[in-house]
Chains A and B, each alone.
Chain A
Amino acid sequence: METADNKYDLSVNVAGVTFKNPVMEGSGTFGSGMEYSEFVDLNRLGAVVTKGVANVPWPGNPTPRVCEVYGGMLNAIGLQNPGIDTFIERDLEFLKDHDTKVIVNVCGKTVEDYIEVVERLSDEAVDMLEINVSCPNVKEGAIAFGQKADALYNITEQIKKKAKQPVIMKLSPNVTDITEMARAAEAAGADALSLINTITAMKIDINKRTFALANKTGGLSGPAIKPVAVRMVYQTAQAVKIPIIGMGGIANAEDALEFIMAGASAVAVGAMNFHDPYTTVKVIDGLKDYMEKNHVGEIRELIGCVK
């Protein structure tokens, strides 16, 4: 495998950070990698993207928080997290022993909450920050910043003033025009974009005659959303110059390649980790196979090759 690695260059660069390969996992589907490290060698991943962390612990939403739908799932976890103190002591401590990039997903209810987390991470072993302004499952903050261009501009600008690491703004698909959001984030100084977060959705339990999720609505993820995500990555890539991390239902290397060709510099595997914990490494191996078969020396050649 080492020889193939040398012959076929999988490395990509996102906002000045070099990843050994373009494959990471989507925030919230992988914890901080601890649980999945029983199955996956984290050193093989381009990056580990942590579950969203806030300035203080959040209890999240009532259960049921998850349910399956055809080709995907809904979740309304509500960004339960142990808060930045525990996160630094436990999760970052665990990750620092791994040869992979670390992207911390940051959430908050107010701009000040976000800034507090961003500042606490200044001197930590963190390569990039991913700002969650697109979680559909919390009432305050998060998506309130991600659905209006001026609010997104404002929070991006304020975070950029304080952040020591490159800032990725994670965009919501629950907007009329994703390119308007992408342009606002870029204009405010965002270093990169990640998209898409989950799509607001609902399932009704006809036997109990109630909502399948206690939160009534949840975020749809999984293969069902992939074509929407590929379209949005393509549109965004046409609208901005900053790099894009693409995600939404990636199950295999073919899916990942669609995102890359649509303009993503890197990709994240989300819900499919639940179907098969080895999905990330299978995607990496599959990318290599594709490059071999098609005589692609550098994966970078494929980024945005479909215009």
Chain B
Amino acid sequence: MGKIRETAKVISQEMLVKDIYSMWIETDIARESVPGQFISVYTKSEARLLPRPISICEIRDDAFRIVYRIAGAGTREFSAYKAGDSIDILGPLGNGFPVSEADNSSPVLIGGGIGIPPMLELAKQLKGDKTIVVGYRDADMFLDKELEKYGRLIIATDDGSVGTKGNVIDAMTEQDISGSVIYACGPGPMLRGVKAFSEKKGIEAYISMEERMACGVGACLGCVCRTVNTDDHSKVKNARICKDGPVFKASEIDL
């Protein structure tokens, strides 16, 4: 399985809620992709030199979907692309969720904010009795209607406008959620909560880490995370999120 850098074609784009966009891209990379992997998206300006890492949300044979938040000028440029426009991408990057290794009889999928999108393809591919826990800032929710087709959906919002008031951990505690394995993607504080929750309940957890990236392919050592043990590649307690991750066993990461 190799990585491909290509000028792909936008099939469609829509705004889901304010600042959250959904784009389908026709690309050969789709065939090689698994849930939890991401792509580098390049802006058309050399003045914005670094690629934007964006997770893959849904996968078909010849296309995939990304759902992303406008965080600055680069993602704002992407949000203006229309069907038929070209988009420069590189992927698939990272390892993805280890779906074949885990006990997927009753998986718990947890997504916080812009960490929710990779959970959609994962939910589609997993067979077991799924619980999907998602956290939003407020009632501006996205992908919730699609996710609820694949399992029991539990919602938390920061402002309490929908579901449990608080974060995903508050919702899981309130509903006394358990399962055979946890998959999570979201901001650092949420992952810290997921790690603690998984340790308390004795459930194996796989977490998808996020960090500022530069090369995206494992060469520059920009996006490392602290590991509990010495990493085999780096020989220090740092693993490369873009190459060795972004998904790690929660027990292996020093959060």
Question: Is A153 interfacial (CB 8 A cutoff)?
Answer: no
Contact A29-B215, Cβ < 8 Å, known A274-B49, A278-B5: yes
Contact A31-B50, Cβ < 8 Å, known A58-B236, A63-B223: no
Check A57–B235 contact: CB distance below 8 A: yes
Q: Which of A35, A77, A83, A272 contacts B49 (CB 8 A)?
A: A272
Instruction: Give the distance to chain B from A32, nearest Cβ to Cβ, in Å.
Output: 9
Question: Is B42 interfacial (CB 8 A cutoff)?
Answer: yes
Question: Is B95 interfacial (CB 8 A cutoff)?
Answer: no
Q: Which stretch (B109-117, B155-163, B206-214) binds chain A?
A: B206-214
Question: Is A86 interfacial (CB 8 A cutoff)?
Answer: yes
Q: Which stretch (A67-75, A107-115, A165-173) binds chain B?
A: A67-75
Give the residue among B42, B50, B216 with the most A Cβ atoms within 10 A. B50
Q: Which of A31, A251, A278 contacts B218 (CB 8 A)?
A: A31
Check A38–B235 contact: CB distance below 8 A: no
Contacting B at CB under 8 A, from A210-259, are: 222-223, 251
Instruction: Give the distance to chain B from A89, nearest Cβ to Cβ, in Å.
Output: 11
Check B3–A39 contact: CB distance below 8 A: yes
Question: Is A304 interfacial (CB 8 A cutoff)?
Answer: no
Q: Count contacts on A: residues with CB < 8 A to the other chain.
A: 41
Contact A75-B217, Cβ < 8 Å, known A59-B236, A70-B47: no
- What residue of chain B has the Cβ atom nearest to residue A90's Cβ? B233
What is the predominant secondary structure among interface residues of chain B facing chain A? loop
Check A31–B219 contact: CB distance below 8 A: yes
A35 to B94 alpha-carbon distance, docked (Å): 12
Contact A274-B220, Cβ < 8 Å, known A66-B50, A66-B214, A223-B47: yes
Check A274–B50 contact: CB distance below 8 A: yes
With a cutoff of 8 Å between Cβ atoms, the chain A residues found around residue B221 in the complex are 51, 60, 65, 77, 80
Contacting A at CB under 8 A, from B29-63, are: 42, 46-51
Question: Is A152 interfacial (CB 8 A cutoff)?
Answer: no
Check B225–A63 contact: CB distance below 8 A: yes
Check A35–B47 contact: CB distance below 8 A: no
With a cutoff of 8 Å between Cβ atoms, the chain B residues found around residue A65 in the complex are 212, 221-224
Check A36–B219 contact: CB distance below 8 A: yes
Question: Is B119 interfacial (CB 8 A cutoff)?
Answer: no
Q: Count contacts on B: residues with CB < 8 A to the other chain.
A: 34
- What residue of chain A has the Cβ atom nearest to residue B90's Cβ? A277
Check A66–B222 contact: CB distance below 8 A: yes
Check B2–A68 contact: CB distance below 8 A: no
With a cutoff of 8 Å between Cβ atoms, the chain B residues found around residue A275 in the complex are 42, 46, 49-51
Question: Is A269 interfacial (CB 8 A cutoff)?
Answer: no
Question: Is A82 interfacial (CB 8 A cutoff)?
Answer: yes
- What residue of chain A has the Cβ atom nearest to residue B50's Cβ? A68
Check A73–B50 contact: CB distance below 8 A: yes
- What residue of chain A has the Cβ atom nearest to residue B233's Cβ? A82
With a cutoff of 8 Å between Cβ atoms, the chain B residues found around residue A72 in the complex are 49
Q: Give 1 or 0 for each of A82-95: 1 = CB within 8 Å of chain B CB.
A: 11001000000000
Question: Is A273 interfacial (CB 8 A cutoff)?
Answer: yes
Instruction: Give the distance to chain A from B70, nearest Cβ to Cβ, in Å.
Output: 13
Contact A71-B219, Cβ < 8 Å, known A60-B238, A82-B236, A86-B235: no
A250 to B234 alpha-carbon distance, docked (Å): 28
B residues apposed to A, CB below 8 Å: 2-3, 5, 42, 46-51, 74, 90, 211-225, 233-238, 243
A residues apposed to B, CB below 8 Å: 28-31, 34-36, 38-39, 51, 57-60, 63-68, 70-73, 75, 77, 80, 82-83, 86, 222-223, 251, 271-278
Known A68-B50, A82-B234, A273-B215; 20 more pairs at CB < 8 Å: A35-B243, A36-B219, A57-B236, A59-B238, A60-B238, A63-B211, A63-B223, A64-B212, A65-B212, A66-B212, A66-B220, A73-B214, A75-B222, A223-B49, A271-B49, A274-B49, A274-B50, A275-B49, A276-B42, A277-B217
9 A-B contacts, Cβ less than 8 Å apart?
A29-B219, A35-B215, A35-B243, A65-B212, A86-B235, A272-B49, A275-B46, A275-B49, A275-B50
